[in-house]
Every structure is written in structure tokens, then in C-alpha cells.
């Protein structure tokens, strides 16, 4: 029997996801589920995707309607973009392809 394992290199590298508001942590999660739950309750206003040409890291900043923010680090630009596009309830209204350093507005 073969074991199927997902490469950890494509998942977000942040060990814990923190959602911060007014300098304090309002929520934490072991994975992206925390962002999904918080977004369901408060809504997402903006998503910023930044691809560093020097370090090849992908940083994604989520800004919520109540002013809270969360930053995640991804190993793969494509995986990060695909994950964001799959959140249809966020209504990002994408009519173009992702490019490095783009800003998405809900």
C-alpha cells in the first residue's frame, strides 16, 4: 500500500495563523481554517499578494471588514493564488490572472 503525502513545501509556512486587531491577537489557528472562520463572521475587505524576487517567498495579507489583519507565508505563488480564488464567498471578482505584487479588493 502506498502512502500519499502532501508536500509541506506548498502549504503555508506559518506555524500558527494569527489574526490581529488594534495591536492584540483576536484569534489564532493551527491552519488556514482560522482565516476562513474569521472571514465568515467579519468578511474580507482586501487581500494583498506579494512575491519577493529576492527570497522567493510569497506573503499574503488578509484585511477583514472590522480592521483585523492576518499575514501568511506561502512557499508557492500558484498555490496561494489558487486558494484565494477558491474562496468564492469572498467575491473578489477576479477577471484577470494573478501577477506578482497584485492587490485584490473584495
Residues 56-83 have pLDDT tens digits of 788 889 999 999 999 999 888 888 888 8
More confident residue, 36 or 16: 36
Q: In angstroms, rounded to a whole number, what is the distance separating the alpha carbons of residues 78 and 42?
A: 26
pLDDT at 103: 58
Model confidence at 91, pLDDT cuts 50, 70, 90, reads confident
Gap between the Cα atoms of 52 and 77, Å rounded? 10
96 pLDDT band (50/70/90 cuts)?
A: very low
**Is the dihedral angle over the CA atoms 66, 72, 77, 79 positive or is it negative?**
negative
91's CB contacts (< 8 A; 6+ apart) are 106
pLDDT at 49 over 80: yes
Amino acid at each position: 500500500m502506498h502512502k500519499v503525502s502532501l508536500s509541506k513545501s506548498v502549504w503555508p509556512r506559518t506555524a500558527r495563523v494569527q489574526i490581529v486587531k488594534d495591536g492584540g491577537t483576536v484569534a489564532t489557528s493551527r491552519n488556514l481554517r482560522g482565516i476562513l472562520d474569521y472571514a465568515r463572521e467579519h468578511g474580507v475587505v482586501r487581500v494583498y499578494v506579494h512575491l519577493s524576487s529576492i527570497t522567493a517567498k510569497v506573503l499574503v495579507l488578509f484585511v477583514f471588514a472590522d480592521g483585523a489583519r492576518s499575514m501568511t507565508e506561502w512557499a508557492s505563488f500558484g498555490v496561494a493564488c489558487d486558494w484565494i480564488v477558491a474562496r468564492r464567498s469572498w467575491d473578489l471578482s477576479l477577471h484577470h490572472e494573478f501577477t506578482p505584487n497584485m492587490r485584490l479588493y473584495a
